[in-house]
Amino acid sequence: MPVEHNESRNSARHESQPGGAIAILAGRPLLPNTGIPLNLDWVREVRVNTSAVERRAQSQVARRTVKKEWQAAWLLRAISCMDLTTLSGDDTDERVRRLCAKARHPIQREIEQQLGIEELQIKVAAVCVYHTFVETALHELEGSGVHVAAVSTGFPAGLSPLAERVNEIRRSVEAGAHEIDVVITRSHVFGGRWQALYDEVAAFKQACGSAHMKVILGTGDLLTLRNVGRASVVAMMAGADFIKTSTGKEPTNATLPVGLVMTRAIREYAQQTGMAVGFKPAGGIRTAKQSIDWLAMIKEELGPSWLRAEMFRFGVSGLLGDIERQLEHQATGRYSAECRHPMA
């Protein structure tokens, strides 16, 4: 049975926003984030009820499920919002080429035909690599519409001198990267040095120029949800286009409680400023069920206009294989072996 890709069709209504807006929240058109002056009173007023956040996240998983063609539609949306990532010490040009081939055609042709979704031309949003491989990725993805994102600023620790981190960004932008994923200095958060954090992110934003900047908070290192909330607000004030949970290298990466705090910070920022900021969970999202949990949370907390690659991304390396298995099950009624769904 062909999949009726309702989530794509519904979200497509938001592709052309009125008056140059990039998202809509509670009927209000929102503009891209250009940042605002640092408001320390706002930052200090951030409070998080940890137990309430954890209960809300648990209820999200327990009471949200979709089946059959509806599940397939949500999974196709998840693919279209992926930053397909390889950030290993043993990365090679050939590995990046294979990843780019998968990014262009993330679903096997046979499965597409069985689901009747060929005309949707599903592809991932971006490929995320180290600066060294930006040129390779750009060549392999030319004409595909898939963006190239480069991690920068001393990824993953972010502890190299500021001038070096800024120059890293500039080199990747000059090489042609469409998006830059930067990491903050976590010690600024621990010490409550909000002006220093603001100035750092603002310097990164200036270096990015027209490239979109995703600010990685390293939430697994920030210890408390209140720190996550405050760092989110400061990053947005400094001009972040996206805020991102993790590098994928921390002991704990993207979790729903962290995501709930960050999405509610995005919602409050939009309400206060009229500007929209995107969200990217990264690290530890490996199953199709997890991807639907995240999408459902985004829809409930921020609304359907965030369910697009322009406003939401998954940073993943292993998720696509499980989603492809689920789509094959939808098409054939049988689960295939994982080895039938390699990354390339």
Closest CA to 213 of 221, 204, 200: 204
Identify the active-site residue in 205, 214, 280, 299.
Answer: 280
The number of angstroms, rounded, from the C-alpha of 108 to the middle of its chain's C-alpha atoms is 24
Distance, CA of 293 to CA of 312 (rounded, Å): 14
Phi, psi of 159 (to 5 degrees): -115, 5
- Give the other-Cβ count within 10 Å of 51's Cβ: 8
Q: Of the listed 83, 123, 181, 299, which one is catalytic? A: 181
CB 264 within 8 A of CB 47: no
Q: Is 214 annotated as catalytic?
A: no
Residues near 12 by beta carbon (within 8 Å), at least 6 away in sequence: none
Q: Which amino acid is at 204?
A: F
Rounded to an integer, what distance in angstroms lies between the CA atom of residue 165 and that of residue 157?
A: 11
CB 103 within 8 A of CB 141: yes
205 is catalytic: no
* 123, 205, 214, 244: the active-site residue: 244
Checking DSSP bridges between strand 179-183 and strand 147-151, what pairing results, if any? parallel
Cβ–Cβ under 8 Å, residues 101 and 137: no
Q: What is the chain's Cα-based Rg?
A: 19
Q: Active-site residue 181, yes or no?
A: yes
Catalytic residue IDs = 181, 244, 280
